[in-house]
Amino acid sequence: MTVFEKVFGTAPEGVWAAPGRVNLIGEHTDYNDGFVMPFALPHTTVASVARRDDGLLRVHSGDMPGGIVELRLDELTPGRDDGWASYPAGVVWALREAGHRLTGADIHYESTVPTGAGLSSSAALEVVTALALNDLHGLGVERPAMALLCQRAENVYVGAPTGIMDQTASACCTAGHALFVDTRDGSQRQVPLDLAAEGMRLLVVDTRVKHAHSDGSYAERRAGCEAGAAALGVPALRDIPFDGLAAALDRLRQGGHDESILGLVRHIVTENHRVEQVIELLDAGRTRDIGAVLTAGHVSLRDDFRISCAELDLVVDTANASGALGARMTGGGFGGSAIVLAESDAAEKITEAVVSAFAAAGLQEPRVFTAVPSAGARKV
Ligand code: GLA
C-alpha cells in the first residue's frame, strides 16, 4: 500500500515530480529584467494526486509534521498562513484566479530537495502541484506560463517577492543543460553542460545556515534595485549596459545617492555581463574559464550586493585556496548553498578542505554533493 493510500484511503490518479535547482550564474538579476542561468538538480519533490469533486484541497507531506491540511478552495485568499501548505494552496488559488476550473484534490508530497538551502524547495513544491493539476484537469497551461502562475502564488499568496528564476528552472530545465533565460521577454535557451565529460564537477555545498526570503532582506535589495532604476530613469537595471556603468554610477553620486545603492546597481550590471561571458565561454568550449567568472560573481554578491555570510565566504575562499576553478554563493543569499567548479580529480581534496575548515571554525558540517544538470518537472 502506498503512503497516499494509507493517508487518503484511495489510489492516486498519477505521480509527478519537479526538481530543485542551482543557479550557475545570474543572481538577483531576475527581478531586474536581467539574465539567469540555472540548472535542475536530481533532487525532486514528488506529488501523488487524485482529484476530488467536493471543493476541498487536502494536502499531506511525508516531510512535514502535522498530518493532513484540509482547505476549502473557495476560502483560499492571499495572506492566509497555512504553513508549508500555503505553497500548494497558493498554486490552486493562482490557477483559479487565472480562470481555470478546479474541483479539489488530495495530494501527498515527498521531497529530496533540501529545505532552506537556497535550492528552491518552494519552487519544486509549487511547480509539481501546478503540473499535476494541469495534467489531471487538461488545463493546457504551457511551462513558462505555469512558472509565472507559481511565481504569482509565491509573490501574492505566500507574500515572498521573489523573481521568476526558480519556478522557470523547475518547470523548463532539461537534463544535460543549463537554462539561459532572458527574464525580460521570457526567451530561453538550453545550453549544453556536461561537466563530467570534460573532466570537471560542480559541487554544491549546503552551509546549513538557514535562509528565509520573507525576512525582509531580499525585499530590501529588490526595493533598492528598483530605486536605483528609477533614479537612473530606466524601467529596470537591465537597461544599463555594461559600458554605461561608470556613467550611471557618476550620475547616482551626483544625485547624492549613497554607496549602498551604487553597490546594488554595480552588482546587477556586472552580473548580467557575467552571464553573457559564461554563455560565450561555454559556446566556445572554454568551460574551465567560467570558474574565474563565478568567483568574480561571488565577490560582487559579497561586497556590492552584500548578501553573503561568513559561512558562504569560507566555502568560496577555502575551495579556491584548495585548487577549485572557481566558486560562488548561489540563490537568494544570507546562508544556503555555494557552488564550486572543480577538476574531477581535485573534488575530493577540495571537499575535505571545506569540511575541515568548517570543523576548525566550530561550524556544523556542511552537506556536499555533485550536481548534475537534470530533468525539469514531469509525470513519473
Ligand atoms: C531566490 C529567488 C529568485 C532569485 C534568487 C536570486 O532564489 O526566488 O527569484 O531572485 O533568489 O538570484
Q: Tell me the catalytic residues.
A: 166
Residue ID of nearest Cα to ligand 1 atom 3 = 163
Q: What is the residue whose three cell numbers read 535547482?
A: 21
Identify the pLDDT of residue 62. 94
Domain boundaries, the chain: 3-192, 196-370
Fold of 196-370: Alpha-Beta Plaits (3.30.70)
Rounded average pLDDT per 10-residue block, the chain, 380 residues: 95 98 98 98 98 98 93 96 96 98 98 95 98 98 98 96 98 98 98 98 96 76 98 98 98 96 98 98 98 98 97 98 98 96 98 98 98 98
Residue ID of nearest Cα to ligand 1 atom 11 = 332
CATH of 3-192, one of 3.40.640.10, 3.60.15.10, 3.30.230.10, 3.30.1490.390: 3.30.230.10
Strand-pair category, 105-111 with 35-51: antiparallel
Identify the pLDDT of residue 212. 61
Residue type, 260: S
**Cα 330 to averaged position of ligand 1 atoms, centre (Å):** 9
CB of 166 sitting under 6 A from ligand 1: yes
Alpha-helical (H) ranges within 55-178 are: 86-97, 121-137, 143-152, 165-172
CB of 337 sitting under 6 A from ligand 1: no
Identify the pLDDT of residue 216. 85
Task: From 27, 29, 30, 35, give the residue whose CB has the most ligand 1 atoms within 8 Å, as the site to mutate.
Answer: 30
**Cα 126 to averaged position of ligand 1 atoms, centre (Å):** 15
Strand-pair category, 337-343 with 200-206: antiparallel
Backbone angles phi, psi at 313, to 5 degrees: -65, -35
CB of 329 sitting under 6 A from ligand 1: no
**Cα 152 to averaged position of ligand 1 atoms, centre (Å):** 14
Say how far apart CA 51 and CA 16 lie, in whole Å. Answer: 14
**Cα 56 to averaged position of ligand 1 atoms, centre (Å):** 31
pTM, rounded to two decimals? 0.97
CB of 34 sitting under 6 A from ligand 1: no
Residue ID of nearest Cα to ligand 1 atom 10 = 28
**Cα 332 to averaged position of ligand 1 atoms, centre (Å):** 5
Contact between 210 and 312 (Cβ < 8 Å): no
Identify the pLDDT of residue 362. 98
CB of 165 sitting under 6 A from ligand 1: yes
**Residue 254 CB neighbour total at 10 angstroms:** 8
CB of 335 sitting under 6 A from ligand 1: no
CB of 211 sitting under 6 A from ligand 1: no
**Cα 93 to averaged position of ligand 1 atoms, centre (Å):** 22
Strand runs labelled E in 154-289: 177-182, 188-192, 200-206
Identify the pLDDT of residue 213. 58
Identify the pLDDT of residue 218. 93
> Measuring CA to CA, which residue among 109, 13, 94 is closest to residue 63?
109
Strand-pair category, 177-182 with 35-51: antiparallel
Residue ID of nearest Cα to ligand 1 atom 2 = 162
CB of 274 sitting under 6 A from ligand 1: no
For residue 329, CA distances in Å to 7, 26, 47, 56, 322 come to 39, 11, 29, 41, 17
CB of 162 sitting under 6 A from ligand 1: yes
